[in-house]
Structure 1
Amino acid sequence: MGGLQSLLPGNYHQKGADGRIALMKSLITCLPIILAALAATVVLGAAPTERSATCPNIILFLIDDLGWKDLGCQGSTYYQTPNIDALAHQGARFTNAYSACAVCSPTRAAVLTGKYPARLMLTDWLPSGRWDPKAKLMSGRFLRGLPVEELTLAEALRSAGYRTANVGKWHLGSEPFSLPEHHGFEVNIGGNAHGAPGDYFYPYEGDWLVPGTELRAKWNVLPDGKEGEYLTDRLTDEAVSFITQNNDKPFFLYFPHYGVHTPLQAKPEVVAKYEAIPEAERQGLPEYAAMVESIDDSVGRVVETLEKFKLADNTIIIFTSDNGGFWKATNHAPLRANKGAYYEGGIRVPLIVQWPGKAKTGLVVDESVISNDLYPTCLAACGLPALPNQHVDGLDLSQLIQGNATSLDRQSLFWHFPHYNEHPSSVPSSVIRKGAWKLIETFDPAGIELYNLDQDLSEANNLAKSNPAKLAELHSELEAWRVDVGAEMMRPNLDYDPTSTTQPKKKKGSGLRQKSSESWHKFIRVA
């Protein structure tokens, strides 16, 4: 029962009679959904139906903590990413692409379900649980795993005859029903509850605690490695193997690399190359730059494999990030802030789509898009019918990618994060972007900010006082959206102690570790 309980909307971590009543109500409410999900599981467990060999393969690279400016095609002269740049030159590059959240787990859920994290009630990274019981507000309740009743993108494609694999980071819950095998993936390599490896070199283990939990990063789900093996390379080996084994049938390869998440560790010879660059010319830390280069090498190896089996012309490659870059690793200018924040530096991400024969070569798309859109886009690209009741918050981008349209039938994008967080610029917030305008409502401290991104990409000039009409318009729409999706709100805490803090204290082994003769930033551990 524990696995199911963790996925129900009633799983609010209540204790005693109230918790049991809430659980029973949730069971009764969700019973039809659960039965439908079990029926879908039976169907999906059957042999895939035969599909035409012309059905495009899909490879979705979801990079962890890659900043918006951290690619050559995004304007960087420091990071060396020729393979990723080639995807952009041969396909479509989005300049206003957003992650569904400023931290990882909710964005991953949005990619796989086509829904806003607030609608899923999965709004914080997992397992999280960092709320200070003496804080001013009580954090919004949230699920601790990907709901089993959701029909994921992998399930939709698998039921249409696609072979499916998750290679890399999962981070969507620890209960069995939260794991990739129960969400449409026939193959799962490296995907578990952890948000980062203990170490990027084999055996990938570390003894640090995930902050705020008792979960140790004893990350050993990739056996049979060898001394010196680098995680990004090993996962690429596994991805290449999956493509090789399935080169005669349509496949969906979900490739969420652990890189470039902390710990900042890379191959020494690559780090040395960036250390040789004068510090004044660096955009970020040499270790981080070397990690980015290894991701680029991974993309190159995957493309080479597609070419080897003559699959390149029939494979769609999507490349994006789960949130903005880590604050100590890279320079986000001109964007304000970083991962964890709801300024542009925390949620604006790279998005590149290479679709041979369809995507307009070298196309630059300025329309605002979000992680939720990838689900319906993949269905459309595969010639499959839309599932509007599932990807309710996503739109098909295929016409934008092909250059047949310049805009979508959507007015606004939304974010909702009713939680405290350890990231330095993270504040509990709700956000709306409508055209050039962006409104940020913060809950603690209570406040409201309004920016015109066309005129002020760095969000330096708060126009809330000078534009009351626009502020009222956007705030009203934001409030209506929160009601529509059933967004969990923060509530006053009756045990509030103003002398306490909303930021948890670092415990030994929980967040920061230092080794002799090594710089501290290599070992910082942030979820």
Structure 2
Amino acid sequence: MNRIFLSLLAAILFIGCSSPEENPTKPNIVYILADDLGFGEVGYQGQEKIHTPNIDALAASGMVFTNHYSGAPVCAPARCILLTGKHGGHAYIRGNDEWRERGEVWDYAKAAADPNLEGQRPLPTGTVTLASLLQGQGYKTGIVGKWGLGAPTTESIPTKMGFDYFYGYNCQRQAHNLYPPHMWENERKVPLNNPIVVPNTKLDPEADPNDPASYAKYQQKDYAPTLMHEKVLSFLEESKDEPFFLYYASPLPHVPLQAPEEDVDKYESEFGDEAPYDGSRGYFPNRYPHATYAAMITLLDQQIGEVRDKLKELGLEENTIIVVTSDNGPTYTGGVDFDYFESSKPFTNGYGRTKGFVYEGGIRIPMLVSWPGKVQAGSTTDHISAFYDVMPTICDLLGIPVPADADGKSFLPALLGQEQEEHEYLFWEFPEYGGQQAVRMGKWKAVRQNIVKEENLEIELYDLSVDPKEQNNVAETHPEIVKKMEEIMKKEHTTPEIDRFKMAALGDK
């Protein structure tokens, strides 16, 4: 018997051997996607300044993936790749496309008032998503958090892309304020009790930057992460009698630096006084930037703990798979001090190496999976995997066909402690930040930079087994590996349907 048959047989035995009362045949799935959470920003990965006890406890109760990757180094393409199972060389959305031909989409106030200016470019009508596959298997499907894959007036909104329920931000730009003027619930725009403060609004000229009162306008009444979390707990309560898939796409800890005052105060006491952030690198100024950023991650951690507590309360924990991960690496802007927190440790920090870039700090992300009684507690795997493996894994779990155009490979065997078939390679393509491609093949990592900006096709090569920071380009001494990487990059690239994502140096017309 081959390994694929063995893994499928094991899955069937795990989920089908007991009576429905003891072990329902379809496990619930809670997929928690943090926003810009760095590889080194959680305790179980060595973070020392930010407290994440609930995430750490989940890691101890399940399996940690040390070689898991996002599908892209920024929001929209990463989410597209996650939900469609296609890597960046095949995906429809390959970058953050704000769909500018509609008009003044970057005018926050106008977009807040006009749904025709809100949101990102839509997926094609009828796109098969992870949610629509699960819907077809009798799952109740919900997304709470940030969507970013289609404007409110299009056919590419959550409720038309496989989700029974949606609450949160439709638009990534609107998420640049955690006290927004509205949220969306399903297809209804829900006003919030927050006057509009446009992102990048600076302190008043006469304001004292050392006085916390000067920052009052950036702290309002309805805090989006809290409202979203309330909806998450309600969704779990309302779905307890049927199998469910919850995609909790939290906006935390994406900037701007905004967190409830009581949460910031705890870290202010711990860290001591610090220099204010003046807003010069975008988003909003903040009196205590270190304390606020830490508070945002700890609030996320607290909410994850409350999700687990709710599942326990409902008697669902043992039949629920919980995944905690991030959409990409940490940010380099908005007042976040990546050096202070060592956000990408053990990889390289800072602009050019974290969010927005296909080096390890931009795409290697924390991931844990907890499934009591099925996934061994306290286990770790070095299996190399990516977002586009999630769809095949869930299809494998449920014994349903993987869509023919999906690029991934199930990591269910790794979860069950069985022999895992490895990828020959992983592939990334990202047309923004100069235009980039990358390949991970075993210990080798190939990177192309500035494909668009400079029509550069030169390949950098790194041996991650000895150089995880990608500091020593060994392309000249391994021409045979470089040639193989070049062949992979050519093979996996397809011409994008959207002109914005085309790269002429790769032959796109």
Q: After TM superposition, is the score higher than 0.5?
A: yes
Contact 1:196/1:258, CA 8 A, preserved across alignment:
no
Q: 2:480 aligns with which of 462, 469, 475?
A: 469
1:343 counterpart = 2:359 = yes
Specify the alignment match of 2:437 in structure 1. Answer: 430
Query: What secondary structure does 2:198 align onto?
Result: coil
Shift of 1:483: 4.7
- Equivalent of 2:233 in 231, 237, 240: 240
2:168 is aligned to 190
Match of 2:182 in 1: none
Pairing 1:288–2:302 present: no
Q: How does 1:141-156 map to 2 (within 5 A)?
A: 144-156=121-133
The SS at the match of 1:408 is: coil
Corresponding residue for residue 177 of structure 1: 155
Instruction: Name the structure 1 match of 2:424.
Output: 411
| 1:112-511 aligned within 5 A | 112-127=83-98, 144-174=121-151, 175-201=153-179, 203=193, 206-208=196-198, 228-278=221-271, 285-328=290-333, 329=336, 330=338, 331=342, 332-336=344-348, 337-381=353-397, 383-390=398-405, 392-405=406-419, 407-419=420-432, 426-442=433-449, 443=451, 444-445=453-454, 446=456, 447-483=458-494, 489-491=502-504
Given that 2:390 and 2:408 are in contact with CA atoms closer than 8 Å, whether structure 1 keeps it comes out as yes
Please give the alpha-carbon distance, in whole angstroms, between the structure 2 residues aligned to 1:304 and 1:204.
Answer: 30
Secondary structure class of the residue paired with 2:481: helix
* Deviation at residue 491 of structure 1 after TM alignment: 2.2
Identity, % of aligned pairs?
34
Task: Report the CA distance shift for 1:485/1:153 in structure 2 as closer, same or farther (over 3 A).
Answer: same
Cα 1:89–1:395 shift into 2, 3 Å: same
Describe the shift of the 1:483–1:248 C-alpha distance in structure 2 as closer, same or farther (beyond 3 A): closer
> Which residue identity does 1:401 align to in structure 2?
L
**CA-CA distance at 1:209 after TM superposition:** 6.6
Q: Secondary structure at the match of 1:266?
A: coil
Shift of residue 208, structure 1, vs aligned partner: 3.0
Structure 2: segments with no counterpart, 5+ residues: 1-19, 102-119, 180-191, 201-218, 275-288
Q: Structure 1's 325 and 280: CA in aligned 2 closer, same or farther, altered over 3 A?
A: farther
CA distance in 2: counterparts of 1:200 and 1:61, whole angstroms = 18
Kept after mapping to 2: 8 A contact 1:198/1:206: no
Which whole-Å deviations, capped at 9, do the CAs of 1:422-449 have from their partners, x for residues lacking one? xxxx431111110111111121342431
CA distance in 1, matches of 2:195, 2:434: 32
Q: What secondary structure is seen at the aligned counterpart in 2 of 1:319?
A: strand
Q: In the superposition, relative to structure 1, how do residues 93 and 453 fare at CA in structure 2: closer, same or farther (>3 Å)?
A: same
CA contact (8 A) 1:97 1:350 kept: yes
- Structure 1 residues 227 and 417, CA, compared in 2 at 3 Å: closer, same or farther? closer
- The alpha carbon displacement at 1:266 in A equals 0.9
3-state SS of 1:94 partner: strand
* Alpha-carbon displacement from aligned partner over 1:324-380 (angstroms, at most 9, x marks no partner): 001142332331221001111111101111112111111111111101111122233
Shift of 1:485: 8.9
Residue of structure 2 equivalent to 1:20: none
Task: Name 1:39's counterpart in structure 2.
Answer: none
Question: Counterparts of 1:366 and 1:304 in 2: how far apart (Å)?
Answer: 29
Question: What is the CA-CA distance between 1:229 and the residue it aligns to?
Answer: 3.9
Give the aligned residue type for 1:386: P
CA distance in 1, matches of 2:435, 2:194: 33
**Which residue of structure 2 aligns with residue 12 of structure 1?**
none
| Structure 1 outlier segments of 4+, above 6 Å | 484-487
Residues in 1 aligned to 2:396 and 2:256: alpha-carbon distance in whole angstroms: 37
User: How far is the alpha carbon of 1:476 from its aligned partner?
Assistant: 1.7
Matched AA of 1:388: P
> 1 CA distance for matches of 2:28 and 2:172?
28
Note closer, same or farther for the CA distance 1:326–1:206 as it changes in structure 2 (3 Å cut): farther
Query: What TM-score, normalized by structure 1, do the two folds share?
Result: 0.72
Q: CA deviation at 1:129?
A: 5.6
**SS of residue matched to 2:146:** coil
Contact 1:99 1:321 in 2 (8 A): yes
Deviation of 1:207 after TM superposition, in Å, equals 4.3
- Contact 2:76 2:148 (8 Å CA) reproduced: yes
How many aligned residue pairs are there?
Answer: 407
Deviation at 1:280, TM superposition (A): 12
Contact 2:322 2:371 survives alignment (8 Å)? yes
Q: What is the CA-CA distance between 1:269 and the residue it aligns to? A: 2.2
Change (3 A) 1:408 1:196: farther
Cα distance in 1 for residues equivalent to 2:345 and 2:174: 26
Q: 1:459 to 1:82 in 2, by over 3 A?
A: same
Summarize the alignment of residues 14-29 of structure 1 with structure 2, pairs less than 5 Å apart: none
Structure 2 counterpart of 1:436, one-letter code: K
- Compute the RMSD of aligned alpha carbons: 2.8
Determine helix, strand or coil for the equivalent of 2:77. Answer: helix
Determine helix, strand or coil for the equivalent of 1:107.
helix
Structure 1 residue identity aligned to 2:440: R
Separation in structure 2 between the aligned mates of residue 228 and residue 61 of structure 1, nearest angstrom:
25
Partner of residue 13, structure 2? none
CA–CA distance in structure 1, aligned partners of residues 65 and 261 of structure 2: 33
d(CA) in 1 for partners of 2:194, 2:175: 6
Change (3 A) 1:78 1:209: closer
- Return closer, same or farther for 1:68/1:129 CA change in 2, 3 Å cut-off: farther
Secondary structure in 1 matching 2:482: helix
Deviation at 1:197, TM superposition (A): 2.5
Displacement after TM superposition at 1:234 (Å): 1.6
Contact 1:170 1:195 (8 Å CA) reproduced: no
- Name the SS for the 1:366 alignment partner: strand
Conserved? CA contact 2:328–2:355, under 8 Å: yes
State the match for 2:77 in structure 1.
106
